[in-house]
Amino acid sequence: MKKILILNGPNLNLLGKREPGIYGSRSFEDYFEYLQKTFTEVELHYFQSNHEGALLDKIHKVGFEFNGLVINAGAYTHTSVALADALSAVPMPAVEVHISNIHKRESFRHHSYLTSRCEGMICGLGLKGYELAVRYLLDLTVKPPVVV
């Protein structure tokens, strides 16, 4: 069975409460349950942290074992060379997701250090972007995980 990790960065633990006009009123935990019911053919894992090092550690831990990564690094998207390097260091394909359209927001949000290290980027489609990213990763022809 394929394994896909959904990795959320800072402040995404506040989904459903934080700026509902931008991010909606649904918690990610609730949405993750929907994803698990929708994608029964894959083992979905979810991890969120407000700490850059914890996100790096998680990529390092699963990057040689999982079949794909859906990453919404939050504000680290625009600042973290370390996360970009971690994505380059592992063979696991990744799709970058943003709930809001980052190109319709402040100019500092228009640049992503992660996009060039990912298969693609989905932004502005709300939580639906996660579902589309998982579908894309499932459609990829991915080599079996390397067991280390």
**112 appears as a binding residue in the annotation:** no
Spatial strand order of the sheet with 42-48 comes to: 42-48, 2-8, 68-72, 94-98, 120-123
Known catalytic residues are: 23, 98
Closest by CA position to 69, among listed 33, 32, 44: 44
Annotated binding residue at 85? yes
Structural domains for the chain: 2-139 (3.40.50.9100)
Contacts of residue 70, Cβ cutoff 8 Å, sequence gap at least 6: 4, 5, 6, 7, 94, 95, 97, 130, 133, 134, 137
Determine the distance from the C-alpha atom of residue 7 to the mean position of all C-alpha atoms in its chain, rounded to a whole number.
Answer: 4
Whether residue 99 is annotated as binding a ligand: the answer is yes
3-state secondary structure of 18: coil
Question: Which tokens is 41 given?
Answer: 């053919």
Q: What is the per-residue pLDDT across 86-129, written as a single tens digit (0 to 9) for each?
A: 999 999 999 999 998 886 666 766 678 899 999 999 999 999 99
**pLDDT 10s digits, 33-74:** 999 999 999 999 999 999 999 999 999 999 999 999 999 999
Cβ atoms of 75 and 11 closer than 8 Å: yes
Angle at 28 between CA 36 and CA 86, to 5 degrees: 85
